[in-house]
Structure 1
Amino acid sequence: MKLRSTLVIALAATSLALVGCASDSANTYTRSQAMRTSTAQAGIVESVRNVRIQNDTNAIGTIAGGVIGGAAGSQIGGGNGAIVAGVLGAIAGGVAGNQIEKNSSTQAALEITVRLDNGQRLVITQAADMSFSAGQRVDVISDGQTSRVVPVQR
């Protein structure tokens, strides 16, 4: 019984630790993005649309919820009743864990359409941690793998 409780706690802690590891912010750089040469292209914001960024789910929430629900359900009743309650608890826990993982890994974002000074149009989605409006001068900063929109500092 003690081993089962330890396993449940470990799985729950692992699922919480893995949620939200990535950043899509124009203000936050990962360690691997720092100290890289990037290019900046000037342009004007054509439009801004509110969207949501959802991290790819990795089933940790579903698994952890299923384990926790199954362990809790199996404590109800005895014999076949405990087995049935354990199975139902695992299903309910898995569904709840999946939903919690999705909700905790979703963030507000902006889809920003920029017309560069050379005429090219770009659409970049990033965290909604800055405000942008149509007609605003911006730079699109790109390191070859990621791009972000930042206001031009005057």
Structure 2
Amino acid sequence: MNRSESGIKFIFCIMAAAMLTMAGCASSSSNVYTHEQAMQAQTVDTGTVASVKSVIIQASKPPVAGGAIGGVTGGVIGSTIGQGHGRDLATIGGALAGAAVGAAIEHKAGTKNGFEIVVNLDSGRTIVVVQEADVPISPGDRVRVLTAPDGTTRISK
């Protein structure tokens, strides 16, 4: 393997690691707590699920890092192709294609399936909570509604 090939493989490894890291950064799961949420007292309400609707939870930040990483990677790979003016065009084309692919991967990693859950609380109030679809919840289920001091609310069985 020559130096150029090993450099390309190294860049691909960095890009893959960065994408996997971004995929795990944010969570709206009923089963996942951040370090800051651990060991914090939460208020607990109980109620009955009135309805459940499937939704898509999308990251609130536009994809930036994936496009940047992809653009650099594509540019480096493109710079190994051809000579002179052709190499310049390959570098630009590689950077543009890499940026588009990287942004698409980051966008997909920031999109999760979720539920919009309407709960009739025993207190008489009705609330709606959106969270990841990682726990099966159906209308009629008895649930706990956990609310953290920061206002984060999740539904749990």
Tell me the TM-score range normalised by the shorter chain: 0.7 to 0.9
Partner of 2:128: 123
Where do 4+ consecutive residues of structure 1 move more than 3 Å? 5-11, 13-16
Contact 1:51 1:110 in 2 (8 A): yes
Separation of aligned partners in 1, 2:13 and 2:108: 21
Hey, what does 1:18 align to over in structure 2?
22
Please report how far the alpha carbon of residue 22 of structure 1 lies from its aligned counterpart in structure 2 after TM superposition.
2.0
What is the distance in 2 between the residues matched to 1:43 and 1:71? 56
AA aligned to 2:54 is: N
Please give the alpha-carbon distance, in whole angstroms, between the structure 1 residues aligned to 2:155 and 2:88: 54
How far did 1:141 drift?
A: 0.6
Q: When the two structures are aligned, how many residues end up with a matched partner?
A: 150
Give percent identity, aligned residues only. Answer: 40
Quote how far apart the aligned CAs of 1:107 are.
2.1
Q: Deviations over 1:43-75 (max 9, x none)?
A: 111110111223334511101111111111122
Please report how far the alpha carbon of residue 117 of structure 1 lies from its aligned counterpart in structure 2 after TM superposition.
2.0
Cα RMSD between the aligned structures?
2.3
TM-score between both structures, scaled by the size of structure 1: 0.85
Structure 2, unmatched stretches of 5+, are none
How high is the TM-score relative to the length of structure 2? Answer: 0.83
Deviation at 1:118, TM superposition (A): 2.4
Provide the rounded CA distance (Å) in 1 between the counterparts of 2:138 and 2:18: 40
Structure 2 counterparts to residues 39-118 of structure 1, below 5 A: 39-55=43-59, 56-118=61-123
| Structure-2 residue corresponding to 1:132 | 137
Distance in 2 of aligned mates of 1:108 and 1:59: 22
